[in-house]
Amino acid sequence: MIEGKISKRIALFALPIFIGQLFQQMYNIADSLVVGNVLGKQSLAAVSSSGSLIFLIVGFIYGVFVGAGVVIGRYYGAQKYDMVHRAVHTTVAFGIAAGLLLTVFGIIFTPFILKLMRTPADVLPESIRYFRFYFAGSLGNVLYNAFNGIFQARGDSRHPLYYLMIASITNIILDVLFVKYLGFGIAGAAVATAISQFLSAGISLYKLTHVNDVHRITLKDIRFDPPLLKEVLSTGLPTGVQNSVIGFANVIVQSNINVFGSDAMAGCGAYSKLEGFAFLPVTSFSVSLTTFTSQNLGAKKYDRVKKGAAFGLASGVILAEIIGILFITFAPRLIGLFDRSPEVVAFGVKQARTEALFYCLLSFSHCMAGIIRGSGKTTVPMLVMLICWCVIRVTYITVTTKYIPDIAVIFWAYPITWTLSSIAFAVYFFKADWMHNFERQEQRMKAKLN
């Protein structure tokens, strides 16, 4: 990342992430497609109701691994390989502990949380069943994300792609086998996902224990290094909190959608699965910009960071908008892939035609957050998204739906808050001195040691 043509480096790093996220969406969408077509719209609504809750919990852990990637990438760019080794093994130790805790938490508190979300009684039993089996695979999910963060911090986005492709294909095959042919019902879809998550984690671990490089994992060295753990958490916790807060806001949004009944839940759930495809350029360029920024700031190549930021922002925004326009055009056919009921399709199409035109703003916000996060200033994206995507969004929906009980009010919350976050990020990007954050961090650490 610190040598060669900037556009080529970012694009070549982003492309495997893009393809990987494509398979990740196939991974996620398989459950809904199989369940919706085999078991019907009630089961589809049950799967859909779990999405925001899953993101609420998993998003926190994933955010911490983003922070771990920033720390590892910075030390790698600065050629401090002993610190890379320590950070890698601390990251894995944290992943094991977090995965086990997440499994227990998800299984125990599922009924309580789904009831708080006002999940309809006709959907609740299947939602609980799906959610509990899904979280039985939490350890595999968390560890794959930990390993993925290590690969990407090193500048390797290809191997996580290969392993995700294998897991995605496995998940699709098992979904059809368990749900359609073996009759396991909605639990079969969740079990298929859990098995696939452990498979991708296992292959990743095997590769990292055999790679001949500074990020190699040695099983006996997996332990918490307190100073490195503190650094990883101080960098990653703001992103984790940001993801959880956004997830919490989405849970509240989902609870408002639930009020409109199972047709709305199924239609909006189908839309959210398809929306994930529009996030592909957003995610790929955001992640690549975080890695690019952290490595080049570690190497003190500031002009290179500016040029990379400009290229990544432009690419992410343009691709996201093209996909948004295509989504609007083909929305009825796409939503109909999940369930052909006119009521279900109508809800999904209405949401797509309200939000998709504004995907450029969503991409701009995420890419800006990736750049700023790569500089180590992870608190800034957290605060912007906390205020815009949680406080303002939830307040707007809560207040407005009392006077205008129309589901379109909920849909418009997203373009409005994407606009506000884009403005806030642009102001910070051009006004604040975020590029020299790593230097200030090193000076503070040296002062403490002296």
397 located within any domain: yes
Q: In one letter, which amino acid is 395? A: T
DSSP 178-243: IIIIS--THHHHHHHHHHHHHHHHHHHHHHHTT--STT---GGG-S--HHHHHHHHHHHHHHHHHH
Higher pLDDT, 246 or 11: 11
Q: How many domains does the chain have?
A: 1
**Residue recorded with tokens 């983003």:** 66
How far apart CA 382 and CA 246 sit, in angstroms, is 10
Higher pLDDT, 50 or 105: 105
Please give the average per-residue pLDDT across 432-438, as a whole number: 67
448 located within any domain: no
Confidence of residue 27 (pLDDT cuts 50, 70, 90): low
Has residue 376 got a pLDDT over 70? yes
Question: Tokens representing 360?
Answer: 């450029």
Question: Tokens representing 91?
Answer: 């990251």
Q: Which of 130-139, 214-223, 231-240, 432-441 has the lowest mean pLDDT?
A: 432-441
Confidence of residue 1 (pLDDT cuts 50, 70, 90): low
Confidence of residue 416 (pLDDT cuts 50, 70, 90): very high
Structure confidence at residue 355 (pLDDT): 92
Cβ contact 20:162 at 8 Å: no
192 located within any domain: yes
SS3 260: coil
User: DSSP character for 358?
Assistant: G
Higher pLDDT, 340 or 173: 173
Residues whose CB is less than 8 angstroms from the CB of residue 402 and which lie 6 or more positions away in sequence, other chains included: none
Please give the average per-residue pLDDT across 68-89, as a whole number: 84
Has residue 78 got a pLDDT over 70? yes
Structural domain of 371: 6-442
Q: What is the pLDDT of residues 218-274, one digit of tens each?
A: 999 999 888 888 888 887 777 777 777 777 777 778 778 888 887 888 888 788 878
Question: Tokens representing 230?
Answer: 């503190």
- Which range, 114-123, 173-182, 282-291, is most confident? 173-182
pTM for the predicted model, two decimal places: 0.67
1 located within any domain: no
Structure confidence at residue 449 (pLDDT): 46
Please give the average per-residue pLDDT across 77-87, as a whole number: 85
Burial class (CB in 10 A: 0-12, 13-18, 19+), 325: middle
Mean pLDDT for all residues in the chain: 82
Q: In one letter, which amino acid is 118? A: R
Structure confidence at residue 48 (pLDDT): 64
Has residue 278 got a pLDDT over 80? no
How far apart CA 284 and CA 2 sit, in angstroms, is 18
DSSP 85-110: HHHHHHHHHHHHHHHHHHHHHHHHHH
Has residue 445 got a pLDDT over 60? no
402 located within any domain: yes
Please give the average per-residue pLDDT across 330-336, as a whole number: 89
449 located within any domain: no
447 located within any domain: no
Has residue 192 got a pLDDT over 60? yes
392 located within any domain: yes
Structure confidence at residue 447 (pLDDT): 56
